[in-house]
Amino acid sequence: MPTPAQSLLDHLSDNWSHTAISYQNFNAVFDPQATRTGYTNNDIYIVPRIELVDSQWQNGIPQEQDTVIEFYSFEIMVMAFSGTGLQDVEARVANLKTLYDRTTVTHESNTMRFREFQVMQGEQVGFSNLNPDAVIFATPTMTTFQVARVDS
């Protein structure tokens, strides 16, 4: 049985075709300068991050078999090179919001209930390691979700 984080990453991978996904927060190598095909915009990519925030027994105390409620933080950085255009960044943020704003997603055996999708103010975060002339602009987005699972 996959973990909720694995289910969410699978769901994102299956439903996201706009830009490349960098799994650098999960120890995967990603070259932002690589030429990619099949995406709406190659100058933008997203970087997801999932963190378990809290878990608790539904009935308050552990029993022989009970439901555990787990709360996660799901952050996605929308990264763009300078000159990409704010409209393209906003379009990708809107795509993410469509997927994860106040929705329920069931993937394999995990049902994830997402809360309000929040977009923070974007900012210039510095230069790319691979191309010193390319300024990176980051727009952080975040939502939280909960998963209920039976634990015995």
pLDDT digit string, tens, across residues 2-55: 888 999 999 999 999 888 888 888 878 787 777 777 776 778 888 899 998 888
pLDDT level of residue 64 (50, 70, 90 thresholds): low
Q: Does 56 score more than 70 pLDDT?
A: yes
Q: How many CA atoms lie within 13 A of 1 on its CB side?
A: 8
Q: SS3 letters for the chain?
A: CCCHHHHHHHHHHHHCCCCEECCHHHCCCCCCCCCCCCCCCCCEEEEEEEEEEEEEECCCCCCCCEEEEEEEEEEEEEEEECCCCHHHHHHHHHHHHHHHCCCEEEECCEEEEECCCEECCCEEEEECCCCCCCEEEEEEEEEEEEEEEEEC
The residues facing 107 across adjacent strands are 110
**Per-residue pLDDT at 10:** 93
- pTM, full prediction: 0.81
Kindly compute the dihedral angle of the four CA atoms of residues 55, 61, 63, 65, in this order, to the nearest 10 degrees.
-30
**Per-residue pLDDT at 9:** 92
pLDDT level of residue 121 (50, 70, 90 thresholds): confident
Q: Which residue, 10, 39, 114, 129, is CA-closest to 71?
A: 114
Mean per-residue pLDDT of the chain:
80
